Amino acid sequence: MAPAEPQYIRINARDNVAVVVNEGGLPAGTLFASGLELREDIPEAHKVALTHLAEGDAIVRYGEIIGIASRAITRGSWVHEGLMKLPEAPPLSSCPLATAPPPALAPLDGYAFQGYRNPDGTAGTRNILGISTTVQCVAPTVEHAVRRIRAEILPRYPHVDDVVAITHPYGCGVAIDAPGAIIPIRTLRNLALHPNFGGEVLVVSLGCEKLQPARLMAASELPILESEPSYAVLQNAQSGFGEIVANIMMLAEKKIARLNENRRVTCPASDLVVGLQCGGSDALSGVTANPAVGFAADLLVRAGATVMFSEVTEVRDAAHLLTARAATPEVARAFVREMAWYDDYLRQGGADRAANPTPGNKKGGLTNIVEKAMGSIAKAGSSALMAVAGPGERVTQKGLVFAATPASDFICGTLQLAASMNVHIFTTGRGTPYGLAMAPVIKVATNSGLARRWPDLIDIDAGRIATAEKTVEEVGWEIFLTVLDVASGKKKTWADHWGLHNDFALFNPGPVT
Amino acid sequence: MAPAEPQYIRINARDNVAVVVNEGGLPAGTLFASGLELREDIPEAHKVALTHLAEGDAIVRYGEIIGIASRAITRGSWVHEGLMKLPEAPPLSSCPLATAPPPALAPLDGYAFQGYRNPDGTAGTRNILGISTTVQCVAPTVEHAVRRIRAEILPRYPHVDDVVAITHPYGCGVAIDAPGAIIPIRTLRNLALHPNFGGEVLVVSLGCEKLQPARLMAASELPILESEPSYAVLQNAQSGFGEIVANIMMLAEKKIARLNENRRVTCPASDLVVGLQCGGSDALSGVTANPAVGFAADLLVRAGATVMFSEVTEVRDAAHLLTARAATPEVARAFVREMAWYDDYLRQGGADRAANPTPGNKKGGLTNIVEKAMGSIAKAGSSALMAVAGPGERVTQKGLVFAATPASDFICGTLQLAASMNVHIFTTGRGTPYGLAMAPVIKVATNSGLARRWPDLIDIDAGRIATAEKTVEEVGWEIFLTVLDVASGKKKTWADHWGLHNDFALFNPGPVT
């Protein structure tokens, strides 16, 4: 239900702008209970000036400067992109290092889920055969085999959820010794070792590609491939396509038979590795969905889980806040290192962080990347930052972790999977039918209009916070409990219901050849 | 059949190395009819020294210097990577510009195929509905719709061959104003307008993404989208996933109904746009398959068709030969410009052309990129170079054209499709089950061993040239006639038989955000 009364949300006492939350926006002349009167029409989720602003004044939201007024702005006016200049990004050299790590949150005991216990101690939320590939040449062949495995083999193994082919355009035709090549290679390696694959690894190789199986795996992991035949090389086939497919199916069935022995067991919530992401954000993201996810993140951290946030360009403008929150100076320095790497990466490509917001973000009231960043980091809750992982690295630490990834939904999702995410929470304001094959994705709407329009795509409506039907805490608990249910296989996400699974998208900063 | 006698192939009278062609290679002590005796075992397709070479001597194959001897090499020895240094690439500043354009080849009349005539004058070799996407967010939804279209709509329209979704990781989370962004954008635009789509365009957009439909299409092409509803925007849906899918299916059926009216008609061979590529090459590529394809390329050029070759890193070392062959200095300068752009692109990524050959190339006797390049350009035949297209640009000129693309099979294939390729010829020595959904791919083996092992993946065996069963001219004619049959839909390629279709792989030199 939309509120009957005109309403805006101011996040921080220092803010001189607030966000209109009424569905459909509000017309000029609207009078708020505070006495503020709108000078012009303001769309839903867009900003209104709470005070008169002179040219050059700081525009403050979330208690932080999100822009500089490029001309005078009257109280009650619409504060939009045309009136704001982008401030400089916080200089990395002067970021405070672990100056204000929050004290440990009170432990939260007694929460568990039904998961699959893996030999390496991790826990899966699904029981899937993953088929890794070293090069795109083999992708259509593997997909052909997967269709046949689904039709001919899986029905005989009811405890196995699915077969997923990890296909990608990497592996050959790339500068495999270039400085950036480590990123896609370790991403593929860590995807192959994902906790939802139950410790079973199967790799399909062409034979002549640059990314040989022995290069895909680290030396310490090669025994996984070699202990029993765990990889197929197409070019070894002596009698054509039939043999190629039969060989992949034969290897797959051996592993499926073992996976079929797995059963869900009670796992503590600390076995969860929850990845957070937003996509198609609007100005309500930082008011409703992201703070509620932040509350859930704190609950997860209190329960001992790993919570990952990501998206470098969307935290860059909050770097000084996050380095201060780091548990140790080492963690803060690792964070600065990832920011600096990405600054350089963008500069080399002739871009900068301002390239991030989309036309849809702007329509949704997000004026620039600073405002987007301040809303984005609300997802990370309030706990200390315990660790930082590079793109594609596996995350093993508990607590709040920053996994450095691009903000692109599909690349971030792929890299969070590589980091060993077993549940994904995705907030969206504009709406996207996003999903992943390897781990369930819980979609949280920032506004009730979207949740109502897309009832069969959105899992949780955080828009009820804007309409004062629910509090941040209430929706936060709902998200936390939904994570446990989805992780247990008790509740199916809408993306899984429809089988909506985005392709893997690798981050390859190196050149192709 | 392997030849009973030991045999090697020397390409050019100036060559001081030759390639052993006997299957399985030859042992030390083997005596050739020429009197040459092997000093050591030499694997099939690897090089033998025909003369004594001193340290620092040029190693010559194809009449060109492919390397410098890093130590003395005795006559009859195996000339492998460990004995050769890579020469400098030909300096672009001194490439001869159109100094030796070959005279026009004699016209070849009377060859035609049965194709689909398009409103814009181009011809299709298949009758497909293409569904373009502006962003990966919509990919799983479009794939869901495509599965339903195939099951529920296509059976009622028997003259339509297929529905193909052009999905990709571009469109958002990218620096869309970066200098390199024009490449993926024009690639997607030109794929949407491919001649095998019969002039019907259908675009699916999310709504908030950076690559809006109006940006995907050039201004002059926007009427194609707007003349009737030709695009779906997911975020416009008011009632969820069912409506989203129904809307895509409704738009698709309108276009399928029109495509269903199309019939094959006689088209002159000059309507063909044939793309050439090699992948998984070996040292026989430049002796058997590529020269035979080169002969077919000349036949196609004589018949008035467009023949495209590509793969920048595989022609870079032949730049001086190709600029001399350009029809005009402008064409030569355009060629130099593309080479220089790619040199810079690789340098910025910390790589160079030496990153090209794969472990499989090397096992197959291709020592370095110079040797690979000399073999690769044999595909281009002997006619003058008439035009040069940048990556993702559409090719409209007749005759031999260089379409600048990376050598990565999938990226090259995608870019050649964007250039409007309607038949693809792919040569392979090591073997790859490569195929494309949008245009048929004819696979030519460089060696008979591969053709025998993979009888249901390889379409033409050019290895018979090495065994003297066939001449280059005979296999060239076979390829030419196969192109006409495949273009006419009379003959099905093995990749199409099995439905092996590699995913589109965009070339995005710009950064992701």
What per-residue confidence (pLDDT) applies to B179? 86
Domain-terminating residue out of A200, A232, A259 = A259
Domain-terminating residue out of A259, A281, A305 = A259
Sign of CA dihedral A156, A160, A161, A165: negative
Domain-terminating residue out of A259, A278, A304 = A259
The interface pTM score, or ipTM, of the predicted complex is 0.93
* Residues pairing with A276 in the sheet: A425
Residue of A nearest to B449 (CA): A238
- Confirm if B52 and B62 have CB atoms less than 8 A apart: no
Of B410, B412, B453, the CB nearest to A239: B453
In a domain, B265, yes or no: no
Which stretches of chain A score pLDDT less than 70?
A: 1-4
- Confirm if A133 and A216 have CB atoms less than 8 A apart: no
Q: Same domain for B255 and B286?
A: no
Q: Same domain for B162 and B239?
A: yes
CA distance A24 to chain B (A): 14
Q: Same domain for A375 and A470?
A: yes
Count structural domains, chain B: 3
Contact list in A for residue B363 (CB cut-off 8 A) is: 208
Q: Same domain for B284 and B239?
A: no
Q: Same domain for A412 and A295?
A: yes
Contact list in A for residue B500 (CB cut-off 8 A) is: 140-141, 144
Contact list in B for residue A174 (CB cut-off 8 A) is: 355, 408
Pick from A356, A358, A361 the residue to mutate for testing the B interface (most B CBs within 10 Å). Answer: A358
Contact list in A for residue B235 (CB cut-off 8 A) is: 280, 360, 430-431
For chain B, give the mean pLDDT.
Answer: 95
What per-residue confidence (pLDDT) applies to B1? 44
Of A240, A348, A502, the CB nearest to B454: A240
Q: Please determine, for residue B39, whether its predicted confidence score (pLDDT) is greater than 90.
A: yes
What per-residue confidence (pLDDT) applies to A355? 82
Q: What is the pTM of this model?
A: 0.94
Q: pLDDT exceeding 90 applies to what percent of chain B?
A: 88
What per-residue confidence (pLDDT) applies to A1? 44
Q: Same domain for A337 and A383?
A: yes
Of B144, B239, B433, the CB nearest to A140: B433
Number of Cβ atoms within 10 Å of the Cβ of B328: 15
* Residues pairing with A53 in the sheet: A73
Contact between B280 and A313 using a beta-carbon 8 Å cutoff: no
What per-residue confidence (pLDDT) applies to A4? 61
Contact list in B for residue A433 (CB cut-off 8 A) is: 137-138, 140-141, 234, 241, 244
Closest C-alpha among B420, B433, B450, B447 to residue B493: B433
Contact between A207 and B360 using a beta-carbon 8 Å cutoff: yes
CA distance B184 to chain A (A): 14
CATH number at residue A169: 3.40.50
CA dist B373 and A245 (Å) reads 33
What per-residue confidence (pLDDT) applies to B467? 87
CA dist A495 and A486 (Å) reads 12
Q: Same domain for A360 and A405?
A: yes
Calculate the CA A338 to chain-centre distance.
17
pLDDT tens-digit profile of B418-477?
A: 999 999 999 999 999 999 999 999 999 999 999 999 999 999 999 999 988 999 999 999
What per-residue confidence (pLDDT) applies to B225? 75
State the average pLDDT over residues B404-419. Answer: 97
In a domain, A26, yes or no: no
Q: Same domain for A298 and A394?
A: yes
Q: Same domain for B210 and B314?
A: no
Q: Same domain for A283 and A209?
A: no
Of B209, B279, B359, the CB nearest to A210: B359
In a domain, B275, yes or no: no
Specify the amino acid at residue B200: E
pLDDT tens-digit profile of B72-117?
A: 999 999 999 999 999 999 999 999 999 999 999 999 999 999 999 9
CA dist B513 and B505 (Å) reads 19
In a domain, A66, yes or no: no
Q: Same domain for A323 and A387?
A: yes
Contact between B173 and A410 using a beta-carbon 8 Å cutoff: yes
Of B139, B239, B350, the CB nearest to A179: B350
In a domain, B145, yes or no: yes
Query: Which residue reads 């970066």 in tokens?
Result: B178
Contact list in A for residue B144 (CB cut-off 8 A) is: 498-500
Contact between A432 and B239 using a beta-carbon 8 Å cutoff: no
CA dist B468 and B472 (Å) reads 9
pLDDT tens-digit profile of B122-131?
A: 999 999 999 9
Contact list in B for residue A430 (CB cut-off 8 A) is: 206-208, 235
Contact between A180 and B349 using a beta-carbon 8 Å cutoff: yes
Max Cα distance, chain A (Å): 82
In a domain, B110, yes or no: no
Chain pair A-B, CB pairs under 8 angstroms:
267
Question: Which backbone phi and psi does B224 adopt, to 5 degrees?
Answer: -60, -40
- Confirm if B141 and A432 have CB atoms less than 8 A apart: no
In a domain, B512, yes or no: no
Contact between A169 and B507 using a beta-carbon 8 Å cutoff: no
Q: Same domain for B395 and B352?
A: yes
Structural domain of A157:
128-259
Contact list in B for residue A359 (CB cut-off 8 A) is: 208-210, 212
What per-residue confidence (pLDDT) applies to B100? 95
In a domain, A5, yes or no: no
- Please indicate whether residue B491 or residue A367 has the higher confidence score (pLDDT): B491
Direct distance between the N- and C-terminal alpha carbons of chain B, in angstroms, rounded to an integer: 55
pLDDT tens-digit profile of B310-351?
A: 999 999 999 999 999 999 999 999 999 999 999 999 999 889
Contact between A173 and B408 using a beta-carbon 8 Å cutoff: yes
